[in-house]
Amino acid sequence: MDPISCTVLVLGGGPGGYVCAIRAAQLGLDTVLVESGPLGGTCLNVGCIPSKALIHAAEEFHLARRFAAGSPLGISTADPRIDVRKTMGWKDGIVSRLRGGVYSLLRRANVKVVGGTGVLRDGKTCVVSTDVGRQEITAEHIVIATGSESVPLPGMPFGGPVVSSTEALAFEGIPTRIVIVGGGYIGLELGTAYRKLGSEVTVVEAAERILPQYDAELTRRVMARLGKLGVEVLLNTRATSLDRSGPALRIERSDGREQLLPADRILVTVGRRPRLAGFGLEELDLRMNGGAIEIDDQCRTSMRNVWAIGDVTGEPMLEHRAVAQGEMVAEIIAGEKRSFDKVAMPAVCFTDPEIVSAGLSPDEARAAGYQIKVASFPFTANGRAMTLAADDGFVRIVARADNHVVLGLQAVGQGVSELSAGFALALEMGACLEDIAETIHVHPTLGECLREAALVALGHGLHA
Ligand code: FAD
Ligand code: NAD
């Protein structure tokens, strides 16, 4: 095959990589995207999208079962059933529709997509093994966007009953009993979904509380709900080995007690790590930061014109971070003056209830040396939350005591993920308490709680 030369070569077609490629092409740069698997990467194929589809289906089934048991809304159903193969088919349909969308966006933007595993030979050359032969590509700029992969437990590789999130998003039936190692994002999002679909679920978490990346005031509601749903959560507990005869997971409590947890599936969700193997990293001279490629505030690596974006650069491993980095890198290569100077990296955990956090928590703000005002407004005092039969939770606001500039916004409750855009906007625009208090918030909406929290912080709450 004739060698290709281009201005920008993006290695990896996940959300970071494909967005970078589209933006580069929009800006008139001759761009090639290399992807070994389906376009859309982890997020679209085995991450964000299929997991949220499954979470929604599980919630619908759970509701139908709750109605069968009697509901204050006066709705009754009889003996709801679920056909999991159909559910998985619906989820797969969403994934393939979105994947088709990515293909056509790239085509319309004039990005050349090369399918196959790319291996970098140096900071300018990539060799791709495609279905039809070996393709050499030289580029002025290389953007590494190879993403991340699930971390297995030592001595317990994935296979047989031990599965990662990828397999858990495509089970053919509903497992009778799942033990989940890791009470973080994936363990709790999928654990809650499978509990609602009817599995017995136990979560084994090494730390003293679930979701250690969020503060305890937020996670307490999720912990209480897990209890109500019948999910067993074992804190301060480590998985030690697999007993294949059962199968069962051997665990050790913090006091040294050992126990065997029988399970038909053991889902290991103890984090993800940057995908560094198989693309020729050893041929480059890149500075590393822990197990990730080190980047500066423009996503430059230690090699000239070699850039890295998304999960391969480490935490936080979030789709919207990868996308923002990808867009920025394309714009810098095209000559724009940009740097990654976001005030906030909002994050949502799609548990029940959902958690959203943007900016600093009260503890983080204090640790950063700020004198702060903190105020919360509960959904129990919000009409919309009541009409949704979802009044568990609150919105919290953290602001500087001196000039009232908002430093952080958090919420826990049903559907609060949709508040994240407003939270991030307020922080990026440098809003102060008065700006939020003087903005009209539509009634009746959950968003009114943000304004009410600002009013409480200003000392004149109306509905609290
Ligand atoms: P990836 O999406 O991992 O894409 C990397 C791509 O590079 C892959 O397609 C891979 O095939 C390709 N590649 C790697 N090496 C090569 C090579 N040598 N040659 C060619 N191609 C190569 N984040 C959120 O923000 N919200 C969520 O709700 C959320 N839910 C998640 C749920 C689950 C179950 C999982 C696993 C993750 C979730 N994430 C979520 C995280 C999110 O998926 C990642 O942060 C995001 O996909 C990172 O994008 P990326 O482009 O950096 O890498
Ligand atoms: P995580 O970091 O969220 O959670 C891992 C959990 O496992 C932690 O609570 C940790 O204390 C625990 N743990 C680690 N070793 C253990 C052991 N030996 N025994 C018991 N517990 C142990 O990781 P994850 O859930 O695998 O998710 C990976 C990444 O994917 C996340 O960091 C996030 O960036 C991304 N993700 C995001 C979303 C979202 O944005 N809603 C959803 C899913 C995944």
Comparing CA positions, the residue from 148, 122, 145, 110 lying closest to residue 26 is 110
φ, ψ of residue 374 to 5 degrees: the values are -125, 130
Taking CA atoms, 136 is separated from 39, 129, 158, 236, 279, in Å, by: 20, 9, 34, 51, 14
Give the number of other Cβ atoms within 10 Å of residue 196's Cβ: 23
Neighbours of 384 (CB within 10 A): 18
Strands 292-293 and 288-289 come out as antiparallel
Q: Which residues pair with 136 in a beta bridge?
A: 127
Cβ(282)–Cβ(288) below 8 Å: no
Nearest residue (by CA) to ligand 1, atom 26, is 48
* Closest ligand to the CA of 156: 2
* Pocket test residue of 151, 156, 205, 270 for ligand 2, highest count of atoms within 8 A of CB: 270
181 CA distance to ligand 2 middle (Å): 9
**Please, how many CA atoms are within 13 Å of residue 433, restricted to the half-sphere of its CB?**
24
Q: Identify the CA nearest to 5 among candidates 159, 93, 98, 114.
A: 114
Contact yes or no for 341/430 (Cβ under 8 A): no
Tens digit of each residue's pLDDT, the chain (464 residues)? 899 999 999 999 999 999 999 999 999 999 999 999 999 999 999 999 999 999 999 999 999 999 998 899 999 999 999 999 999 999 999 999 999 999 999 999 999 999 999 999 999 999 999 999 999 999 999 999 999 999 999 999 999 999 999 999 999 999 999 999 999 999 999 999 999 999 999 999 999 999 999 999 999 999 999 999 999 999 999 999 999 888 999 999 989 999 999 999 999 999 999 999 999 999 999 999 999 999 999 999 999 999 999 999 999 999 999 999 999 999 999 999 999 999 999 999 999 999 999 999 999 999 999 999 999 999 999 999 999 999 999 999 999 999 999 999 999 999 999 999 999 999 999 999 999 999 999 999 999 999 999 999 999 999 98
Ligand 1 atom 29, closest CA:
48
Write down the pLDDT at residue 244: 82
- The answer to whether the beta carbons of residues 77 and 68 sit under 8 Å apart is yes
Which pTM does this prediction carry?
A: 0.97
Ligand 1: centre distance to CA 391 (Å)? 34
Ligand nearest to the CA of 147: 1
Closest of 18, 178, 222 to residue 114, by C-alpha: 18
**Residue 194: closest CA among 125, 101, 265:** 265
Cα dihedral 240/244/249/251 (nearest 10): -40
- Centre of ligand 1 to C-alpha 356, Å, is 21
Check 62, 320, 443, 460 and give the catalytic one.
443
346 lines ligand 1 (CB under 6 A): no
110 C-beta neighbours (distance < 10 Å), count = 12
- Catalytic, 141? Answer no
Closest ligand to C-alpha of residue 51 is: 1
Which pair of structure tokens corresponds to residue 110? 């004039």
Residues within a 6 A CB radius of ligand 2: 153, 181-187, 189, 204-207, 212, 238-239, 269-272, 316-318, 347-350
Query: Ligand 1, from 10, 44, 46, 48: best to mutate by most atoms within 8 Å of Cβ?
Result: 48
